[in-house]
Amino acid sequence: MFYFMSFMLMALVVGLVAVASNPAPYFAAFGLVVAAVVGCGILAIFGGPFLSLVLLLIYLGGMLVVFAYSAALAAEPFPEAWGDRTVFGWILVYLFGVGLTSGFFWEDWCGNCWMEVGRLDWFSILQGDTSGVAIMYSFGGGMLIICAWVLLLSLLAVLELTRGLSRGALRAV
């Protein structure tokens, strides 16, 4: 279990580095899909299979819409790929930063104490994530407003990042 979780966490870091290091939305979308799938897999392993499935479906659906919109806005004739020198340089910088940060926190790392939620309560009838889903639905109004606000801010951030030099609808015709 330790090796599998270590592999999943390294795949999550690689997916996030692929997103952060690539300025073209065509190639960064693959890294975003890898990060979403691996992150939801980690959540499912730690005892939240229902919440993981819901997050995966909602996140990939929303990401598909944002990717289609940003790819239409950022139509580059020759986008930079992962093999280009600048992108490869950023990959090395990000991986060096992750290695430096993990080396800083290596003494407090307790990888052998990972335990799934299902192992904590052997005689329980309920799954580990059903209580969290009930709480999410009981505080639905506030959670809906917070989620809508976060989605709006993330949409504006993605549109600002993919806008480039063309100023969107305000450009001179």
Structural domains present in the chain = 2-107+125-170 (1.20.120)
Which residues are within 8 A (CB) of 6 and not within 5 positions of it... i.e. 6 or more apart? Answer: 111
pLDDT in tens, 103-152: 888 777 665 566 665 555 565 555 656 666 666 667 677 777 887 888 88
Q: Which residue has the tokens 């599998």?
A: 4
Q: What is the pTM of this model?
A: 0.63
Query: What is the pLDDT, as a whole number, of residue 173?
Result: 43
Residue 20, helix vs strand vs coil: helix
Cβ–Cβ < 8 Å for 53, 40: yes
Report the alpha-carbon distance of residue 59 to residue 71 in Å, rounded. 17
Report the alpha-carbon distance of residue 51 to residue 131 in Å, rounded. 11
| 46: phi then psi, degrees, rounded to nearest 5 | -85, 15
Residue 18 has pLDDT above 80, yes or no: yes
Query: What is the pLDDT, as a whole number, of residue 126?
Result: 57
pLDDT in tens, 64-103: 777 777 677 666 677 777 777 888 888 899 999 998 988 8
Instruction: Categorize the per-residue pLDDT at 58 as very low, low, confident or very high, splitting at 50, 70 and 90.
Output: confident
What are the structure tokens assigned to 18, written together? 């692929």
